Chains A and B, each alone.
Chain A
């Protein structure tokens, strides 16, 4: 397995533009997580899906953020409109969640810069 695949690796966009981040989880994993990492706030959970259903989106900053998982092999995180404070590294991770969380496999991240 190639691991969790995220695209793009880097994204530079102007304030107000729409940004779409993509993730392909590991086959067989039933849970997918979107985290954001900044120096100030560390790793923050944005949203997670279990069996393609959003379970907890309480970490999504505001209505400008939305996430979808149309099938077991693909998820997107969209920011519209983007703002400079959204600049961060966005990670996607997948795992097998049964009665407890097992180890997560992280993607390499998307470094987003909003200017």
Chain B
């Protein structure tokens, strides 16, 4: 069965610092990988997705993620954090891209002024 593990349920970074949110996946078949963001009191929205076209994926709001098969990772990064980035971030996987998504447990990002 496919799954994702998000390391760190809470991450705090200073405004202007690098954001790094970790996601590792397990899948016996080529996965489709996603990052979703949830702002307070809202539903989730897609940040970016990997569908095997390119290993470095760029998303909205300056975020990007790199698919590393050798490390089974799909970490999310942003060079410079902004106060508006404070939210909860979810990694998700779909094997082959033909099945429903399985979500990780989420990482809450806090930005320190």
Q: Do A and B come from one complex?
A: no
Residues of B within 8 A of A (CB): none
Taking Cβ atoms with an 8 Å cutoff, the residues of A that contact B are none
